[in-house]
Structure formats: structure tokens, C-alpha cells
Structure 1
Amino acid sequence: MKTFEGNKDTKKLNLAIIQSKFNKNICERLLAGALSCLRENSVDEELIDIVKVPGAFEIPLAADKLAAQKKYDAIICLGAVIKGETAHFEYVSKAVTDGLLKVNLKYGVPVIFGVLTTYTEEQAEERAGENENNKGWESAEAALEMANLVRKLNNH
């Protein structure tokens, strides 16, 4: 019996990070968390591309364009959708979730969902804290593991 599991081997991993500019303070903290994790795991910064999009709704298109290049071992998507007084929150959250899932399956590239979908700004701030309390950090860890797992599965 074989067990396949990803690890944090960072040798020659090409990574992309897509960051929403909407809810700027929170998204900047998510990006800082992701980069901190990647640095701590010795990822070569020359192999990291950062793409900034206006809002979370634009993340799936950017992910699709990046995945189509077949250059990246994983794509980390960071954003924050915070519930307001209208149904906009539900529509954007669902569209982003569905869009990123489709990119994952269409290209076989790990597209990591680091988009916060919270009911309050305080909840978003809690999830954009320091290191392991930062969903950007967690998303970067997941990207490393999934990139390596997909490599293993592709070579099996």
C-alpha cells in the first residue's frame, strides 16, 4: 500500500500569489503572512510572482490566466469578502469559490483558496493576524504541500 502526501520541499517551486486590493489593510496582511511563510520555508523569491487585482471577484480570471501558462506549481489566492447589508456578499463569495474550483480542476494546478469570507471586519482581522494565525500563512503552507503532492501524483 502506498500513501501519497505533500511536504514543504521548496526546490524550484514556481508560485504565484493573487491579491485583492479591496479591503486593502486586511489583504496586505494576508500577503505579508503568505510571504513570511514562504521565506521561512526558503522559497526562492525570484520564483514568486505577485498579481494584484481590484477585488475578490477578479481573482478567478487572474488565476485562470496564470494556470493556463503552465508555469506555476501552485497559485495562492488572497482576498477578503466581508458581509455588508446586501446580498452582494453571497454572490461574490460563491462566484469566487466556484471560479477557483473550476481553475483547479481545469488545469490540475493547485489553486489555494485564501479568500476570507467573514461576517464582520473584526473576524477578517482575526484571520489576518501574525504567522500561524494568518490565513495567508496557512494558504502558503497549503500551496507548498499541494504543489509537492501534485508532483508526486503526476510522477506516479
Structure 2
Amino acid sequence: MKVIEGKLSASGLRFCIVASRFNSFITDRLIAGALDALKRSGGSEDDIELVRIPGAWEFPVTVRAIAAQKRHHAIICLGAVIRGDTPHFDYVAGEAAGGLARIASETGVPVAFGVLTTNTVEQAVDRSGAKSGNKGFDAAMTAIEMADLLRQLGDGSR
């Protein structure tokens, strides 16, 4: 049996990190985690772009434009949507997740979902480098593995 799986080496791969400015005290920590993962995995700073957007609602339109350029092996989306007292959370989180999944499927560019969707600020802090690790780091590792896997499967478009 032949098993094909992505390796955790970012060497020679190009990444775009798309991060929301909303809840920047959280997203800045997620960015640091993603950059740490990319560098620890052999990625070059010259092969990483950072695009800042206002909030999670803007992920789909931004990521679609980036993916269409076919310049990156994977895109890492980082943000934090924290539940409030209104249903706004449900709309923003749901549309961001659904939109990004569709873009990855339609374009063939891996899109790692590092957008925290939490009930409290404390949960977001925990997931951005405190008790629960750093989900920015985790999202970058997913992007690395998927970019390498697609390269092995013969996606030579990038």
C-alpha cells in the first residue's frame, strides 16, 4: 500500500497570512504563533506575506482575490470572533467559515482556518498562546502539511 501524506516542511513554499485587525490583542498573538510555526518548519520570511483586514466578515472576498493570483501554496486565516449578546456572532463566524471552505474547494488553494470562535475573551486568550496552545501555530502547521501534500499530488500550478 502506498501512503501519501504531507510533510511538515515549509522550505520552498510560499504562504499568505490573512489576519483581521478586530480583536487585535488576540490576532497579533495568532500571527506570532503562525510565523513561529513557519520559521521552525524551514520557511523563509521572504516567502511569507501578511495581509491585514478589518474583521472576519472580510475573509472570503480577500482570500478569494489572493487565491486567484495562484502565487501562494497555502493561505492561513487568523482572527477572533467572540460571542456577544446578539446573534451577530453566528452570522459572522458562519459566513467566514463557509466562505473560506468554498474558496479552498473552488480554487484548489489550501486555506487553513485559524479563526477563533469563542464564547468569551478568556477562551480566546487561552487559544492564542495560553493554556490551550496557539491556534495560529496549529493553522500554519495545517497549511504547511496541505501545501506539501498537494505538491506531492502533482499540483504544479504554483
2:113 aligned residue:
113
Cα deviation for residue 130 of structure 1 reads 5.5
CA distance in 2 between counterparts of 1:112 and 1:142 reads: 6
Q: Where do 1:79-118 residues align within 5 Å?
A: 79-118=79-118
Would the alpha carbon gap of residues 100 and 132 (structure 1) be closer, same or farther in structure 2, given more than 3 Å must change? Answer: same
Q: 1:8 to 1:130 in 2, by over 3 A?
A: farther
Structure 2, unaligned stretches of length 5 or more? Answer: none
1:44 equivalent in structure 2? 44
The answer for the alignment partner of 1:21 in structure 2 is: 21
Q: 2:132 & 2:89 partners in 1: Cα distance?
A: 26
Matched, 1:7 2:35: no
> Percent identity among equivalent residues?
47
What's the offset of the Cα at 1:8?
1.4
The answer for the alignment partner of 2:66 in structure 1 is 66
**Superposed structure 1 runs of 4+ greater than 6 Å apart:** none
Q: 1:131 to 1:44 in 2, by over 3 A?
A: farther
What residue identity is the alignment partner of 2:126?
E
Structure 1 residue runs of 5 or longer lacking an equivalent are none
Counting matched residue pairs gives: 155
**Letter of the 2:121 counterpart:** E
Contact (CA 8 Å) 2:11, 2:41: kept in 1 or not?
Answer: no
Q: CA deviation at 1:11?
A: 2.6
Q: Report the residue type matching 1:84 in the other structure.
A: G
After superposition, the C-alpha distances for 1:114-150 in whole angstroms (9 at most, x for unaligned) are 0000000000000001698100000111111000011
- Superposed CA deviations along residues 58-97 of structure 1, whole A, max 9, x for unmatched, are 0111110110001110000000000000000000011001
TM-score, with normalisation over the residues of structure 1? 0.95
Asked if the contact 2:9–2:42 (Cα under 8 Å) also holds between the matched residues in 1, the reply is no
1:104–1:111 contact (8 Å) kept in structure 2: yes
For 2:43 and 2:62, the matched residues in 1 are separated by 22
The amino acid across from 1:30 in the alignment is: L
- Give the partner amino acid of 1:42: G
Q: CA deviation at 1:152?
A: 1.2
Q: Name the aligned partner's letter for residue 128 of structure 1.
A: S
Structure 1 CA distance, aligned partners of 2:130 and 2:148? 25
Q: Which residue of 2 aligns with 1:57?
A: 57
Q: Which amino acid aligns with 2:60?
A: P
The Cα RMSD (Å) is 1.4
